[in-house]
Chain A
Amino acid sequence: MSFDLNFIGVLIGAIMASSVPLILAASGELITERSGVLNLGVEGMMIIGAISGFALMVVTDNLFFAVIGSMLSGLVISLIFGLLTQSLLTNHVATGLALTIFGIGMSAMIGKNFVGIPGKEFPLLFVNFKESIPFLGPIFFGHSIILYFAFGLPFLTNYFLKKTKTGLIIRAVGDSPTSASNQGINVTLVRYSCILYGGAMCGLAGAYLSLIYTPQWIENMTGGRGWIALALVVFATWSPIKVLIGALIFGGITILQLHMQAIGLRIPVQLLSALPYIMTIIVLVVISRDSRKIKLNTPTSLGQIFYKEK
């Protein structure tokens, strides 16, 4: 049992790596929801991103195309959701659920030919520093570029929503589409853009799983992470920074409970397995209990169909 400082650094690095898909998917979904659209298709878009990324990697042998392709495929899938909910005004919840079912089935069908093919090594950055600097090295270095992007994303998202005009427009559309529309904002266009952005981020989250985290294709490999990302957005009360904290806690406790089992602590395994869910909810509820802030952040018109009369 080695509990030296370097080992703790390695552990933190592993926790960060495991929370990347949650951060990406939740940050994307957060923008979608802030515009007033509830897309429950996160899991479906992630799995489509995972298979497209992996398939493109196999076919083109190029990781760059694979990553871009996974984002595009997430975007295309979310476009279906956009067409249905924004142009045909279908119910958000039902459409989102259908999207997840569709995504899982579709990915399995495409994936038939890609089962059992080993993945490709994804380049990691600053590997030298990881080895040479104790403790801090394994935390900050030796990760993929997508991880660095994922950890910057919540801060960018926060800045974008709070400080930019576009961010303000998105929030206005999410709070009161009617008023926004009266101000001359094209609500449908804004919502379409947010849906597509969310789709692209979910696609990227899926590609992280199939290209980097567990480089291979296996049916249903997202394993419910899309649903956790969705829950994170709500429990983080639509705040990007809290999404990041929540994702880290979830990833952290998931990995720590496995270590506790391996050490042989005599705690019931079922309790340990439930711990990530329980702790994440508790922490997020505690840090978000300011009801005034919740009101400020909650998109009031979430999930409501907006129809502009002509």
Chain B
Amino acid sequence: MYKLFLRGLISVLFLLGLSINANADFKVGFVYVGPTGDHGWTYQHDEGRKAVEAAGIKTTYVESVPEGADAERVIRQLAQSGHDLIFTTSFGYMDPTNKVAKDFPNVKFEHATGYKREHSNVSTYSARFYEGRTLLGHMAGKMTKTNTIGYIASFPIPEVIRGINAMTLAAQKVNPDIKTKIVWVFTWYDPGKESEAAQALIDQGADVIMQHTDSTAPVQVAEKAGVWSFGQASDMQRFAPKSILTSIIDDWAPYYVERSIAARDGTWKQQDTWHGLKEGMVAMAPYNSAMGGDLVKEVEQLQKDLASGKVHSFTGPIYDQKGNILVAEGAVADDGMLAGMNVYVKGVEGDIPQ
């Protein structure tokens, strides 16, 4: 009896679901790798989704979807249930996105941080976070008294290594004695481990801390220890009001709104987007006045120059740790080299974990 009732209930719900899905409204779906409450990567993507919603377009999201087989199931489900545009917001969704795209030629797909566009209905997009790292490097180089910058790194992938290199190059430019100490924590977020890493770096003499992990724990440790820090992914200023000099903010909202409207109006076309400070996909939180008005002005100018293209984060001559030349004098690194970056530049201590 019980079972019968349950079965009945499920089938009714199913039919209800189908009838809702049969609705011909334009809908946008989002697939997130983490929970929307991570206050980092996924949080910012969800802010973008809310902007799409505010523009009058219906959205759905599925959070905490593991990369792999589950992802394909979720993406397929979204495509089947009448979504017209689907954003898949993690590197590991690359193959599942392309697989599903093949079976749903009328649905548009947008994959974040990937490079595979196997079908004409798949676009890719990412942000040039390294431009923000260049600004952090400039500030760090100027602010450090111990000439030691502590860097909490997550996983040894090009994205993270690019950030370390961009920061170190910029810091060396303003302070040739700079040393970058790196601690790999092998996690995107574990507040406990991140704060231990921050503390270890501070104990080893770092007086500027930055992170490529998502929790606010490191900036809180920095605040307590009285050293400088930088926020990651979203504005973390309220967690460490004295210590934070600025935060790199991922701002997906304009892109999501633009692409959603394009898809709705039928003007959507396949493209590969890598936007930075210029387009506003990478933004900087307000600069902390504690670093002095002159430095703030300097950094604001540098930000403008990076945005206008006058300055490039990776301008030669750039050497690797052994002194081999990577980028010739006067040249700038091309996007292909940036995308596959897997060596440290001169001045970074230690080896990249293999």
Contacts and interface: CB of A to CB of B under 8 A. Distances in A.
Interface string A181-222: 000000000000000000000000000010001111011110
Contact of A255 (B182, B186, B200, B349): B200
B121 to A, nearest CB: 33
B164 interface: no
B120 interface: no
Which bucket holds chain B's interface residue count?
A: 35 or more
Contact of A266 (B150, B197, B199, B350): B350
A78 interface: no
Contacts of A112: 37
B192 A213 contact: yes
Nearest to B206: A262
Contacts of A10: 203
Given A1-B204, A14-B199, A216-B239, A262 B181 contact: yes
Interface string B98-118: 000000000000000000000
A259 B200 contact: yes
Interface of B: 34-35, 37-39, 43, 150, 181-187, 189-193, 195-197, 199-201, 203-206, 215-217, 220, 238-239, 349-351, 353-354
Contact of B215 (A218, A258, A261): A218
Contacts of A264: 181, 349-350
Majority secondary structure of chain B interface residues (helix, strand, loop or mixed): mixed
Nearest to B187: A223
- Which of A11, A258, A264: most chain B CB closer than 10 A? A258
A255 B199 CA distance: 9
Given A209-B192, A218-B39, A262-B201, A269 B184 contact: yes
Contacts of B196: 14, 18, 254-255, 258
A18 B193 CA distance: 9
A142 interface: no
A108 B239 CA distance: 20
Contacts of B181: 262, 264
A115 B192 contact: no
Given A218-B215, A264-B350, A223 B192 contact: yes
Contacts of A213: 192, 195
Contact of A263 (B35, B38, B204, B238): B204
Given A18-B192, A213-B195, A264-B350, A219 B203 contact: no
Interface string A100-118: 0000000010011001101
A88 to B, nearest CB: 17
Contact of A214 (B34, B195, B351): B195
A270 interface: yes
A247 B13 CA distance: 49
Contact of B217 (A115, A214, A259): A214
Contacts, number: 105
A219 B34 CA distance: 9
Q: 4 closest pairs, A vs B, by CB?
A: A258-B200, A214-B191, A262-B204, A223-B190
A149 interface: no
Given A218-B38, A262-B200, A118 B192 contact: no
A243 to B, nearest CB: 19
B147 to A, nearest CB: 13
Given A209-B192, A225-B192, A263-B204, 10 more contacts: A119-B220, A216-B215, A216-B239, A218-B191, A221-B191, A258-B196, A258-B200, A261-B182, A261-B200, A262-B183
Contacts of A262: 150, 181, 183, 200-201, 203-204, 206
Contact of A116 (B35, B39, B220): B39
A45 to B, nearest CB: 17
Nearest to B156: A269
B217 to A, nearest CB: 5
Nearest to A10: B203
A273 interface: yes
Nearest to A268: B353
A116 B235 CA distance: 10
Contacts of B201: 258, 262
Nearest to A18: B196
Interface in A239-297: 254-255, 258-259, 261-264, 266, 268-270, 273
B279 to A, nearest CB: 26
- Which of B37, B43, B186, B190: most chain A CB closer than 10 A? B37
Given A209-B192, A218-B215, A261-B182, A266 B204 contact: no
A223 B35 contact: no
A214 B238 contact: no
5 contacts: A118-B238, A216-B215, A254-B196, A258-B201, A262-B206
Nearest to A213: B192
B353 A269 contact: yes
Contacts of B215: 214, 216, 218
Contacts of B204: 1, 259, 262-263
Contacts of B192: 18, 209, 213-214, 221, 223, 225
A7 interface: yes
Contacts of A116: 39, 216, 238
A2 interface: yes
A261 B184 contact: yes
Nearest to A262: B204
A269 B184 CA distance: 7
A83 B59 CA distance: 41
B217 A216 contact: yes
Interface in A136-171: none
